[in-house]
Amino acid sequence: MDDIAANQQSHACAHSATHRKATHPLDSLTADEILTVTRVVHNHPEFGTDVLFETVELREPTKAEVRAFNPGDRFKRQARAAVFRRGGIGVWRLVVSIAEEEIVSIDHLPDARPMIQLEEFMVIEDMVKSDPDFIAACKKRGVGDLSLVCVDPWSAGNFGIEGEEGRHLCHTFAWLRTREFDNLYAHPIEGLNAVVDIKTGEVIRIDDYGVTPVPMAEHNYESRFQSQVRDHLKPIDVVQPEGVSFKLTGRHITWHDWSMVIGFNVRESLSLHDIRFGDRPVLYRASLAEMVVPYGSPKNGHFRKSVFDVGEYGIGKLVNSLELGCDCLGAIQYLDVDINDMYGKIFRIPKAICIHEEDHGILWKHTDFRTEVTEVRRARRLVISSIATVGNYEYAMYWYFYLDGTIEFEMKATGILNTVAGEPSAPDKYATEVAPGVFGQIHQHVFCARLDLAIDGDENSVVECNTHAEPPGDDNPYGNAFYEEETVLKTEQAAARRIKPEHQRYWKFINSGKTNFMGKPVGYKLDPSHCVMPFMAEDSPSGKRAAFTQNHLWVTAYNPEERYPAGEYMNHSDGTDGLVGFIADDGNVEDTDIVAWHTFGLHHQPRLEDFPVQPCISSGFKLMPSGFFDRNPCLDLPAQANRASCNAGAAMEPG
C-alpha cells in the first residue's frame, strides 16, 4: 500500500465516539439511558440496590411511531428490564420510562429463571472446585492439582430429575490443563459432572459415572506452542483510497440503495431495523433470535447437552472486541456497544460491531459473441458482523447486503470442539476420536432467525413454491416436463413447514397489494440452503424445549411480545412457550403483518481436521428479491476496471 492510501485508510478506520446519543427511536439504549433505568429500579421501594439485572434493553416503539419519525424529531424512550434476586427463582419484567424516570409496569414471573450470567461463570467454577466430593473424584482420576482444573457451566435443561425441581441450576463439565495456556479441551475429565444451584450457591450433587483416564497428550493451537510458523504467504491488502461507500448517522447506515438502523442487545447481539432498499421497506427487524446445540450421545451426563446459547446465556454479552486487520480486513468502521452488567453498571465492549465493504467477485457478465462486446460488473457487499465466544465455541455472525437487493446471513462456527474422553481406539457410535482418547460427539447447531417482514409495506403473505415432474403422457410425450406450483399458506399452522428437496421447496414473501411490471405481487424469496433435520425425539425433555427445530419455516401474525422461538424465559423451560404456543390459535397470516422464523444450521459430525481448533464451518440463508424489481436492478452500475489490480506475471517461472 502506498503512503497516501495508507494514510486515507487509517482515517477510515477510526472507531466511534464514546458518548453516544440516540438519534433514532430504534437505536439501542445508550450508556446514560441504561444507567437511568438501573438507578430508577434501585431507587424503587419494591427492589432496592440488591436487585440484579438480566437485561436492560430498548422497549421498541410501535411501528406507527417509528414510521412517523423524521430525522431531528424529539422522541421519548422506554426500556424493558428483567431483574432478579439472589437466593430464589423468579424474574420481574419491568417497563421503565426513561424520560419520566419511573417504572411503568411490573410483571412478576415467579417460576422464570434468568439467563446464566457471565459474572457467575468463575463463581460456579470456584464453587465446584472447592466441593470435597468433586476434589475426591478428581483424585480418583489422578488429578491432584485443582488449580489446573477448569469447570464449564452448562445450562441444565429440564429433565424432571429428583431434587432438581424448582431450582435455578447449571450442570458442569470439567477439563484439565497440563500447564499454563495449555489447551484444556485436549484433556477432558470424563464422567464427572456437578449440578450447581446458582441461586443458593450450593453444589447439590456430584455425578460420578466412573473413571476414564484423562488423556494427557497436549494438542495446542496457540502460536506460542508452534515450533515453526511459515512465511510463504505474501500480503493481501484491501485498499479503498477514496474511503468507504457507506455513511453512518448515529446507528443509521446508508450504503448503495440500502438503509437500516444497527441495533444491539444483551440476548441476541446484533439486530437490524427498518431495512429499506431505496424508499421501499423490506424487513422491519431481523435478528438471530435463538439457537440450540443438541448433542447425540446418551452416555454419562452428555444427554443433558442441548444448550440454547442465545436464550440461556445471551450472546450479546459474550461478543468479542474485534481486532483490526485480524478479525476484519480493509477499511473498517467499528461500533462500540454498551450493555448492562448483572449489577446494573455499564459493560462496554469496544469494537463489538464491524462494518465494512467486501468485493464479491463478478455480479453479472455477458459477451455477445457476434459483436464481441463484453459487459461485466463487479459485485460487492456491505458486511455488518459480530463474533461471540460461548465457552469452547465461537459464533461469527455476518449480515450481508448486496447491490442486487439480496440479503444474506452467514453464521460461521469455529473455536474448539466440546470434547469427551474415552478408551483410545475403542469404537464410539456417537463420536469421532479426534486424538487418542479424545472424542468429539455428533451434534448440531440449529439457529432460528426472526424476520419481521415488511415487503413494500406491512401487509404480506407467504407462498410455498414446489416443483413437480409432469407425469409422462400425452402432455409430456418425451418425459422432460416439470413446473413450479405456488400455494399461499393462509394460517399460522398451515405455514409451519419443512423443506422438501425432492420438490426444490422454498418460500416467497409477497405483498399482494403491490404489483411489479408484470402485474404480479412484489416479493422476496427465502432460499433455505442450510436446513438440518431434527434428530431429538419430539416429546423428549430437550426435544420439547427445542420445538422450533421441528420446522424450517414458521410464520406468525405480528405480535411484539413474541420475540423468541423457544420462549422468553427459556432457561429450565418445559417447552410450553415459544413458536408452538404462538401458532396455537392458528391466526391468519394472509395479507397481514407477519413475522417469518427460519430454522437452519449445521449438522456436525466432527472431523479430525476440527481439532485442536476448528476451521470455520458455515451455514445461513439468503433473502433474494423475486419480482420485487421489474428487471435486474444493477444495469446502471459503472463498468469500471479496478485500478489497483495488476498482472501477477512475476509469479510465473520462465518456461
Q: Distance between CA 615 and CA 612 in Å, rounded?
A: 10
**Measured from the CB atom, is 297 or 461 closer to Ni ion?**
297
Residue 208's DSSP bridge partners are: 192
334 catalytic? Reply is no
Looking at 185, 284, 295, 393, which residue is catalytic?
393
Question: Minimum distance between the CB of residue 172 and Ni ion, rounded to whole angstroms?
Answer: 20
Question: Minimum distance between the CB of residue 510 and Ni ion, rounded to whole angstroms?
Answer: 36
Per-residue buried b or exposed e for 320-346, using 16+ beta carbons within 10 Å of the residue's own CB? bebeeeebbebbbbbbbbbbbbbebee
- The residue among 535, 527, 511 whose CA lies nearest residue 605 is 535
Question: Minimum distance between the CB of residue 452 and Ni ion, rounded to whole angstroms?
Answer: 29
Question: Which runs of E-coded beta strand occur in 22-134?
Answer: 52-59, 78-84, 91-97, 102-109
Q: Distance between CA 218 and CA 435 in Å, rounded?
A: 10
Phi and psi at 617, nearest 5°, equal -115, 150
**Cβ–Cβ contacts within 10 Å for residue 619, how many?**
21
Residue 336 and residue 349 in contact, taking contact as beta carbons nearer than 8 Å? yes
HSE value, Cβ hemisphere, 13 Å, CA-based, for 84: 23
How is residue 256 written as a grid cell? Answer: 448503495
Chain positions contacting Ni ion, by CB under 5 A: 604
Question: Minimum distance between the CB of residue 419 and Ni ion, rounded to whole angstroms?
Answer: 11
Q: Distance between CA 105 and CA 115 in Å, rounded?
A: 21
Looking at 27, 131, 309, 341, which residue is catalytic?
309
Q: Distance between CA 111 and CA 580 in Å, rounded?
A: 20
Question: Minimum distance between the CB of residue 308 and Ni ion, rounded to whole angstroms?
Answer: 15
Distances (CA, A) of 209 to 75, 190, 214, 301, 336: 58, 8, 14, 8, 45
- Residue 118 CB contacts under 8 Å (≥ 6 apart), including other chains: 313, 317, 318, 341, 342
Question: Minimum distance between the CB of residue 354 and Ni ion, rounded to whole angstroms?
Answer: 23
Question: Minimum distance between the CB of residue 542 and Ni ion, rounded to whole angstroms?
Answer: 16
- The residue among 509, 504, 494 whose CA lies nearest residue 531 is 504
Residue 209 and residue 300 in contact, taking contact as beta carbons nearer than 8 Å? yes
506 catalytic? Reply is no
**Measured from the CB atom, is 55 or 155 closer to Ni ion?**
155
**Measured from the CB atom, is 54 or 152 closer to Ni ion?**
152
Question: Minimum distance between the CB of residue 222 and Ni ion, rounded to whole angstroms?
Answer: 21
Angle between helices 121-129 and 132-140 (to 10 degrees): 70
- The residue among 522, 428, 475 whose CA lies nearest residue 212 is 428
**Measured from the CB atom, is 259 or 419 closer to Ni ion?**
419
**Cβ–Cβ contacts within 10 Å for residue 13, how many?**
17
Positions marked active-site: 309, 393
